[in-house]
Structure 1
Amino acid sequence: MCLATAPSAFADSRSDDPAFSLDSSSECKFGGKNIASTPWSLQRIIMDQLKDKATGKGVTVAVIDTGVDDDNKQLAGQMASKGKDFVGGRADGTQDLQGHGTKVAGIIAAKKVPNSGFMGLAPDAKILPIRYTGAAGKNGKVKNGNSDTMVAAINYAVEQRVQIINISSDTQGRRDPEALRIAIQEAVDAGIIVVAAAGNAGVDGLSKKTYPASYDGVVAVAASDRNDERAFFSQAGDFVDIAAPGVDMVSTVPKGGQCTDQGTSFAAPYVAGVAALMKDRYPEWNSKQIIARMQETAQRPTAEPNRYVGWGVVDPLAALSNSTEPGETPKPEAPQQAGSGQVTPMRVTMGETPAERDRRIAIYVLGAGLLLVFVAGGSGIAVRDWRRKKAGGLGTD
């Protein structure tokens, strides 16, 4: 039972769309430069205020992925341990040939470095790197994991007593392996916050389940865009719990440097990072209370959740601004923003790709050009006819 990591070079083509999945080999240079500007996903919050409330100290997040390369300066010293490799036969999980897991880890816990606006949401949290897929195979091919290696990775994370597990993957063919369901349930029963990507096959807007995101107790994360609307690729479904930025996401890559990527794969660690901050600030709250507070304080279009963004787009500052102990289930209330007052409900749309936007603008320009041609042509004909009539009239007077 193979699983697809989205988006990545080895992902299931049924779960990933080339229109929004960036090709790491061409877009991401391992060991490259850092991006100087602050990414939009961090501009939407005030990092200094966030840092004053919590930094994720004392919290460990297991990243079950392609491994995490700790050679990147922003991730050096951020590992709780060397972790484990369940697919490549290595002694630990700190090799990442694909770069996917390193990006996921950076969104959670990358340290601040000079000359870059990017950092992780919870820079004092620790990462437990666990590789379940993406190892080097024979003849230069990638060795993919399966449900067995993912189950082993989840069980290992539970044994290591992590507080949060991030899984930016979903099963191929939307299958529901029994062993995976059991492993997830055991992690949830252990009080671990399990965060999973909802999937990237949502272009058609139809509801479809993905696993492990659809399992009870898992925080299923959709991707949102710069307008706090569902990213066009994000999978819809009643299982979606919350949304987070997942478009043009800056993060760390192996051997140093940063690059951009997009997908629910990178929305999930955004939520995992917020959960780490909340575990730091509210250590007495259990996992259900933390999840409920994130959902209650999310920026949402209606009082009730919907199948596109769940309870809405996670608001880190709002989630950390109310110390009143929450219940274990979110309460449907009027939409709130940053813990203060009503906000105008946002639209829920399918969204459009940059290519679709360019085509739309091109059509507008072409239409306007044709209209000018028609107007100019029509005006010329009208003037010519008027002159003819005038000339004829003068001859009969």
Structure 2
Amino acid sequence: MIAWLGRAGACLAAIVAVLVTGASPARADTVRDQEWHLAALRIAEAHEVSQGEGVVVALPDTGVDTKHAELAGALLPGKGFGEGNEQSDGTGDFIGHGTAMAGLIAGRGLPGGGGILGIAPKAMILPLQTLRNEDGNGNPAFLAAGIDWAVGHGAKVVCVAGGAGASAQLREAVERALRADVVVVAAVGNAPAAKAVAFPANLPGVLAVAGTDRDGNHAAISVSGPEVVIAAPAVDIASTRLGGKYMTATGTSDATAIVAGVVALVRAKYPALSGPEVVRRITATAIDKGKPGRDDEFGFGIVDPVGALTMEIAPESPSVSVGSGGAAAPRKTGGVWWIVAGGVVLGGVVVGVALRRRASRF
């Protein structure tokens, strides 16, 4: 959702957000029910194999709210960059975007099976406060500095849930991260304002994430293009919000955070795999959608966490080049996505609907 637009500007997107009240224990289950993507991706089954233990996911974003219950114990000391963030340890989120991404990646849930559960609930988030201005008047240099700092502080995954104007400094930071065996996951951008895959998602070696809807179809909000590598849920995605509240939002940054969580699951299960091998495992087990093989809307297909964690990947599997690594051709299979057709009902937990145009949100 957040785009580091830089001075050159970048992608604009219209976002629909549904704000939900803070959850008490009696209402926590209702909040969990909104996470339709958990059932669609068979996350309960995936968690029987891996929950992301020991994997550090760097989140260069607006910071992360330490007061949200689902994120207690999930945050490492981070750092702030630019825009008055220099004294920050990566917390103190003023906007809420980073807090939402953190919940999607590593939310711990609440007692009794309620609250927001992340894709990798035992992974650790390294919060990097690189943007404070909700209008996105940031600088790609701050994002680049955050990525470099994360690589030096143990991150094995970097989740760039936004985009930036093309920048040599940012490109070089991404390249250094890839050489350091870090998997960089980035959002492709939101249509119709964005017409092409965003920077740095369009860089070689980056796991560029497009969006799907509740039925597993290409989401209207999602940009398409030849750089798309994988797809994940991007419509009506529930997560944590500032002040102990919750929200649903639509955008490719939500899909990006989900895929970053899947990368954490795979890295925890297969710690000996290199970054390109992790990407290959994820793409080789993706559920092929759209045109047979790789296409501009789904990339290699919809991410399948269970498949990525459990399927054997034959060394002789067909592959195509994806940036600095290789990615096996996706498998054809029936759509597990149809189990969530019809979606969910927010019911009594909805307290308001905010329709806002945010220049910075993916």
TM-score band by shorter chain is 0.7 to 0.9
Tell me: CA distance 1:29–1:97, structure 2 relative to 1, closer, same or farther (3 Å): farther
Tell me, in whole angstroms, the C-alpha distance in 2 between the residues paired with 1:61 and 1:276: 7
Tell me, in whole angstroms, the C-alpha distance in 2 between the residues paired with 1:237 and 1:345: 25
Query: Counterpart of 2:50?
Result: 54
Given the alignment, which residue of 90, 94, 100 partners 2:91? 94
Tell me, in whole angstroms, the C-alpha distance in 2 between the residues paired with 1:288 and 1:85: 28
TM-score (norm 1): 0.74
Tell me, in whole angstroms, the C-alpha distance in 1 between the residues paired with 2:237 and 2:154: 29
**Which residue type is aligned with residue 147 of structure 1?**
P
Given the alignment, which residue of 293, 297, 313 partners 1:304? 293
Query: Counterpart of 2:228?
Result: 240
SS at match of 1:228: coil
Given the alignment, which residue of 150, 157, 165 partners 1:157? 150
Tell me: CA distance 1:74–1:117, structure 2 relative to 1, closer, same or farther (3 Å): closer
Tell me, in whole angstroms, the C-alpha distance in 2 between the residues paired with 1:344 and 1:95: 40
Q: Residue 180 in 1 paired to residue 170 in 2?
A: yes
Give % identity: 32
Residues 103-126 of structure 1: CA deviation (Å, up to 9, x unaligned) = 011100000213636300100000
Name the structure where strand makes up a greater proportion of residues.
2
Tell me, in whole angstroms, the C-alpha distance in 1 between the residues paired with 2:246 and 2:252: 18
Residue 323 of structure 1 deviates from its aligned partner by 4.7
Answer yes or no: is the 8 Å Cα contact 1:7–1:22 preserved in 2: no
The structure whose Rg is larger is 1
**Which residue type is aligned with residue 111 of structure 1?**
R
Q: How does 1:233-382 map to 2 (within 5 A)?
A: 233-301=221-289, 302-324=291-313, 329-332=326-329, 334-336=331-333, 343=334
Query: Counterpart of 1:78?
Result: 74
Query: Counterpart of 1:380?
Result: none
Answer yes or no: is the 8 Å Cα contact 2:106–2:125 preserved in 1: yes
SS at match of 1:255: helix
Tell me, in whole angstroms, the C-alpha distance in 2 between the residues paired with 1:230 and 1:142: 27
Answer yes or no: is the 8 Å Cα contact 2:4–2:163 preserved in 1: no
Answer yes or no: is the 8 Å Cα contact 1:221–1:240 preserved in 2: yes
Tell me: CA distance 1:142–1:305, structure 2 relative to 1, closer, same or farther (3 Å): closer
**Which residue type is aligned with residue 95 of structure 1?**
G
Residue 62 of structure 1 deviates from its aligned partner by 0.3
Gaps of 5+ in 2: 318-324, 338-362
Question: RMSD in angstroms over aligned alpha carbons?
Answer: 2.8
Where relative contact order (Cα < 8 A, 6+ residues apart) is larger, the structure is: 2
Tell me, in whole angstroms, the C-alpha distance in 1 between the residues paired with 2:172 and 2:142: 14
Query: Counterpart of 1:168?
Result: 161
Tell me: CA distance 1:143–1:210, structure 2 relative to 1, closer, same or farther (3 Å): closer
Answer yes or no: is the 8 Å Cα contact 2:19–2:248 preserved in 1: yes
Q: Residue 16 in 1 paired to residue 6 in 2?
A: no
Answer yes or no: is the 8 Å Cα contact 1:112–1:119 preserved in 2: yes
Answer yes or no: is the 8 Å Cα contact 1:84–1:91 preserved in 2: yes
What is the total number of aligned residue pairs between the two structures?
A: 320
Answer yes or no: is the 8 Å Cα contact 2:57–2:157 preserved in 1: yes
Given the alignment, which residue of 208, 217, 221 partners 1:229? 217
Name the structure where helix makes up a greater proportion of residues.
1
Residue 155 of structure 1 deviates from its aligned partner by 1.1
